[in-house]
Structure 1
Amino acid sequence: MSGATPTNDGGATRPAVDAELPRADGPLTGQTPPEEAAPTRSGIFLRELLRGSAVTTILAIVLAMIVGGILIAVTNPDVQKAAGYFFARPGDTLAAIWTAVYNGYEALFRGAVFNPRGADVAAQIRPLTNSLGFAAPLIAAGLGVALAFRAGLFNIGARGQMLIGAMFAGLVAFNLDLPMWLHLPLTLVAGIVGGALWGGLVGLLKAKTGAHEVILTIMLNYVAYYLLLWMLRTPGLLQAPNTNQPQSVPTPTSAQFPDLLGPQFPQLDWGFVVVLAATVFVWWLIERSSLGLRLRAVGENPHAARAAGMSVERLYIYAMLFAGGLAGLAAMNQIQGTVTTGFGATIDAGIGFDAITVALLGRSRAWGTFAAGILFGALKAGSFSMQAQGIPVDIVLVVQSLIVLFIAAPPLLRAVFFLPKTDAEKAAHARAKAAKKAVAA
């Protein structure tokens, strides 16, 4: 003990332990603990910004690019060669890694956004127009998946809806000789209607039988594929004359989307404008219309929506009709813009499944899906330039997959970048800690 305190009788002393004990406070002592400093507005703003979905999305892309850069370096022959004598000359390995990663991502930028090596302005900005052209069907199909997500439906049948949309367009419009002002919109409407009917069938079956939409869409994807394949192999239906290949006739010129900025930008046509209009429509439908309010209510809690007097079954049908129609629009961007020489049973080109990724990255919001579609269109356009550098195209697919993985796991991102936890995560952590203490007690 470091000191003594005299007793009341003036005789013996006792150790002075008061200084070594924690200060008592609380309602029974009449003393209150010191108040914590209130957070400032700037601190609250910064914390909420770091917790927001925009920062999470950006960091997911950055982290995926970092992992992609590691894969580029590992698979590069020059890096592998220099790594063989790393301990003798480590600078050679580091230089080879930098060169491989820089060349890879420079090729991605040059093929997707801007090509400074172009001979003229048109050649320099052509990569950006290519990215927008590749993005158009991804955005349309992604909007269909996102709209279904907002209504509480997991629509993984965009592929089948695209195929049926292509089939309808082929049956209705490919054998007609009409002027462009009539032929083009007729083909477009036929594809949208075909996709809407195929999607609406899922909604109808779910509403009437209670069957799960995941099972329905998976099975109907196969039905759509083999139905279209049969029609492409049958003369007189969709098969082109004078051939035995499962291929349709070319898209009539009067049914093709005209180039948006001229023939020097062949990948970008008026289909992108139609997709932009569809994005505005979906945003208005979900965020501003009374039908969108009901769809969102069903997506949040179908039991509460039913208790409020909403027809949940009817809203399921509406949601899948819209979702299928948007997938049909994606198919029309393929047929009327990208693939005009005749289509086969693989006209969807994987877009139907990529749409799920686009919708997840866009967090099922119209403009978020639009931005995610442009990002994935840019990755697709830039992958061709990366291949010219000897980089496997699969690395681009890995980057896409990692973006979605990190988007789907925000706690992982916050742990990697030391971001503040959300209130829900803090509450979950506190509950887990309290449970451990209760078990230990």
Structure 2
Amino acid sequence: MSDSTRPPAEPAGAVAAPADHPDAPRGQDAGSERWSQAMRDIVGGSAAISVLAVFLALVVGAILIALTDEPVQKASGYLFARPGDMFAAVWDSVSGAYSALFQGSIYNFRRPGFAAGIRPLTETLTFATPLIAAGLGVGLAFRVGMFNIGGRGQMLIAAASAGWVAFAVDLPAGIHLIVAVLAGLVGGALWGGIVGLLKARTGAHEVIVTIMLNFVALYLVSYLLRTPGLLQEPGSSNPQTPPMKPTAVFPDLLGPTYNLHAGFLTVVAATVFVWWLLSRSNLGFQFRAVGENPNAARVAGINVQSVYVSAMLISGGLVGLAGINQVLGTVTTGFGAGIDANIGFDAITVALLGRSRPWGIFFAGVLFGAFKAGGFSMQAAEGVPIDIVLVVQSLIVLFIAAPPLVRAIFRLPTPGTKPRSRPTVVKKEVTAG
């Protein structure tokens, strides 16, 4: 090789370029880096945080179950003399409780035949039906940047509207049910629309307005239930409506031996509708834009006030669907002012666990329906206080509200961040003599 073509030699004492220097050769393939970054985003993402939040809540729940169990308390008195008894009692307590939770919510192996064993799953879906509907309404409001905690009022108004049509109006079968459902949807939507209208016109905060409207709806429906000729059953002094007519009741999906009714199909349809609305429609794009930044959306030409009203109308209708399912699905007699069964507030938990995503809310509602169905089994079979299930639900919200805490416990990466690079070893050439 001639001197003109030979590369110039590095001077003595030169320092090699670091690995991350632009002139240095790449040590990793770009595809490998993208794959590594994608895995970090998945592991540390919101879905993983939700799953781990449920896991942590179940672990803390197991500790509480063990602490409140009498055999465990007795075995702890001689822990140092016979520690095996203590651990055996803890295992029996926790495994028995969670086994009862599974058999009360998914499948009961003790019952003969598949048809009898699968009944707990149908109970879970029955409990989940109003939770999913209300969770969709709350989650939709979250996506628009609004906090809808008026589920109780919207459910009560929807239940009163659908219930009145169901027991006071005579219509043919099929049409009667459709009219009752539509009446309930309109009632819930209008009650939620009041919130959106006040926020759009006056700037009133939706939290304050929804709390006040909860009380207005409660006392209004209570008054109607105590007034003959309105909602109160004729000839009765109890604050209760007459029974719903059979033509306005959701039919059974799997026969009279199961409580699951066609209202479950309405929440499946509602989930598909909300998914389409948020991800495939122009109105859903406006919802998401306003939820991200209302000022930027206003500059882009979006009518933010109109979005607030539209979002709360749809949100109130979805929450009202929960009240409709309570009246036309699970109630065989008349209903009272407690028909909401605290579902309006449980829906906030469901929406948070589902990350305000339609299908996430759907599966979160099924999970909480399993807690409700299995909680009674835990209490009956193992003597576990029902409050333990409520504590587990509250802990789920706590861990979901604190993603950094979950990431710190499991040492998960933060999505969007790059892994720490190892310090580059700098080699220095030294010439002899």
- Whether TM-score is above 0.5 comes out as yes
Do structure 1's residue 256 and structure 2's residue 241 form an aligned pair? no
SS of residue in 2 equivalent to 1:334: helix
Q: Are the counterparts in 2 of residues 122 and 264 from structure 1 also a CA contact under 8 Å? A: no
1:16-95 to structure 2, matched below 5 A, reads 31-35=16-20, 37-38=27-28, 40=33, 42-95=35-88
Shift of 1:241: 1.3
- In the other structure, the counterpart of 1:348 is 340
Q: Percent identity?
A: 63
2:78 aligns to what SS in structure 1?
coil
Q: Normalized against structure 1, the TM-score is what?
A: 0.88
Out of 128, 148, 154, the position equivalent to 2:141 is 148
Runs of 4+ in 1 over 2 A off after TM superposition: 29-46, 170-173, 421-427
Q: Which residue of 1 aligns with 2:378?
A: 386
- TM-score between both structures, scaled by the size of structure 2: 0.89
* Equivalent residue number for residue 119 of structure 1: 112
Q: What letter is aligned with 2:341?
A: A
Q: Is the 8 A contact 2:40 2:415 kept in 1?
A: no
Change (3 A) 1:181 1:423: closer
Unpaired runs of 5+ in structure 2? 1-13, 21-25, 421-433
Residues 1:324 and 2:316 are matched in the alignment: yes
Cα gap change, 1:251/1:295 in structure 2, threshold over 3 Å: closer, same or farther? same
**Rounded Cα–Cα distance in structure 2 between residues aligned with 1:242 and 1:235:** 8
2:172 to 154, 179, 183: 179
What is the Cα deviation at residue 340 of structure 1? 2.5
Tell me the residue number matched to 1:162.
Answer: 155
Q: What residue is the counterpart of 1:284 in the other structure? A: 276
Q: Give, as a single letter, the amino acid of the residue that structure 2 aligns with 1:33.
A: P
Greater shift in the superposed pair: 117-126 or 98-107? 117-126
Corresponding residue for residue 376 of structure 1: 368
Q: 2:242, 2:333 within 8 Å by CA — same for their partners in 1?
A: yes
User: Which residue pairs with 2:11 in the alignment?
Assistant: none
CA–CA separation in structure 1 for the residues paired with 2:183 and 2:263: 15
Per the alignment, residue 295 of structure 1 pairs with 287
Cα root mean square deviation, aligned? 1.8
One-letter identity of the residue aligned with 2:333: T
Which residue, 237, 241, 245 being the options, matches 2:230? 237
Q: Tell me if structure 2 keeps the 8 A contact 1:387–1:393.
A: yes
Partners of 1:30 and 1:249 in 2: CA distance: 90
Structure 1: gaps of 5 or more residues = 1-28, 428-441
Q: Which amino acid aligns with 2:19?
A: P
Partner SS state of residue 338, structure 2: coil
The partner residue of 2:331 within 310, 334, 339 is 339
Aligned with 2:207 (options 211, 214, 217) = 214
Report 1 or 2 for greater relative contact order, CA contacts < 8 Å, sequence distance ≥ 6: 2
Say yes or no: does 1:96 pair with 2:81. no
Aligned residues: 399
CA separation in 1, counterparts of 2:198 and 2:96?
Answer: 51
Question: Is contact 2:107-2:117 (8 Å) kept?
Answer: yes
Query: Aligned runs of 1:5-20 on 2, under 5 Å?
Result: none
Q: Is the 8 A contact 1:143 1:359 kept in 2?
A: yes
